[in-house]
Amino acid sequence: MLEDYPKKITLQDGAVLSLRPMSKDDQYPLYRFFVSLPEADRKYLRNDVTDRKLLEKWVRNLNYDKVLPILVETDDRIVANATLNRQTFGWGRHVGEVRITIDADFQRRGLGSLLLDEITNLAAKAQLKKLVARIVTTRPEVIKAFEKAGFSQLTVLKNYVKDVYQQSYADIAILVKDLA
Ligand SMILES: CC(C)(COP(=O)(O)OP(=O)(O)OC[C@H]1O[C@@H](n2cnc3c(N)ncnc32)[C@H](O)[C@@H]1OP(=O)(O)O)[C@@H](O)C(=O)NCCC(=O)NCCS
């Protein structure tokens, strides 16, 4: 499934980027990527991605069967992270969850669409039947990016999550894509 990596991709504007799964050496480059994100892009991610202990744990416990993180790099830095999260037992075994974060300089250049296709292909190869994404409703442009990639909004969970500062509640849209 991962034999195609590392691989090059070319954006519509000609920028060439490299894709590969995260490795144990990525803790500090990944930290640099996450702290460089605008607060609005970090505030309602599932975890506080600027927590060094959390990143250390991610790297230490790398298990592609549970969480497959695909990193996108330019020559000198990480510019995006897309993960396919899986439950390896129980009634959700056929479902994968997708999460994507992209450096502000690389948004609106088609990279999000490309990564959603990439994760869709990886999920299909892993015999998954559905992909789910959970997105705060205050980011309609993010929801739009997922809908453009074939996700449909099923429902909204009201006041379901708190921001990383544990200060305010937000509604979460549940988006699902059925895989062939
Ligand atoms: C959401 C995200 C992944 C989209 O990636 P992207 O590379 O910017 O998206 P693309 O350039 O491929 O655009 C895909 C579509 O999304 C929509 N879209 C994306 N950003 C938009 C914006 N700022 N305003 C309006 N529409 C937008 C458009 O419909 C766009 O298609 P179009 O360019 O043909 O109009 C990226 O913006 C991001 O990382 N956001 C911050 C982190 C986040 O919230 N992640 C989601 C958690 S799962």
Reported pTM: 0.95
Atom 23 in ligand 1: residue holding the nearest Cα: 141
Atom 12 in ligand 1: residue holding the nearest Cα: 110
* Beta bridge mates, 135: 173
State the residue for tokens 């999550």: 161
Tell me which H or E stretch contains 49: none
Taking Cα atoms as reference points, which of 125, 111, 122, 180 lies closest to residue 150?
A: 180
Task: Write down the pLDDT at residue 152.
Answer: 98
- By most ligand atoms within 8 Å of CB, the mutation choice from 45, 142, 153 for ligand 1 is 142
Which residues form ligand 1's pocket by a CB distance below 6 Å? 41, 99-102, 107-113, 133, 135, 139, 141-142, 144-145, 148
pLDDT in tens, 64-94: 999 999 999 998 899 999 999 998 889 999 9
Burial of 158 (0-12, 13-18, 19+ CB in 10 A): exposed
What does each C-alpha distance from 135 to 78, 111, 156 come to in angstroms? 23, 18, 9
Task: Write down the pLDDT at residue 164.
Answer: 82
Task: Write down the pLDDT at residue 120.
Answer: 98
Task: Write down the pLDDT at residue 84.
Answer: 98
- By most ligand atoms within 8 Å of CB, the mutation choice from 144, 161, 174 for ligand 1 is 144
CA atoms of 70 and 4, how far apart (whole Å): 12
CA atoms of 98 and 123, how far apart (whole Å): 10
For the chain, what are the domain ranges? 7-131
CA atoms of 105 and 166, how far apart (whole Å): 28
From the CA of 108, give the closest atom in ligand 1. 11
DSSP state of 120: H
- The CATH code of domain 7-131 reads 3.40.630.30
Task: Write down the pLDDT at residue 123.
Answer: 97
Atom 33 in ligand 1: residue holding the nearest Cα: 108
| Helices and strands counted in the chain (H then E) | 5, 8
Distance 108 CA to ligand 1 centre (A): 6
* Ramachandran bin of 136, using left for φ above 0, alpha for ψ from -120 to 50, beta for the remaining angles: beta
Average predicted confidence (pLDDT) for the chain: 94
pLDDT < 70 positions in the chain? none
Would you tell me how many other CB atoms lie within 10 Å of the CB of residue 68? 22
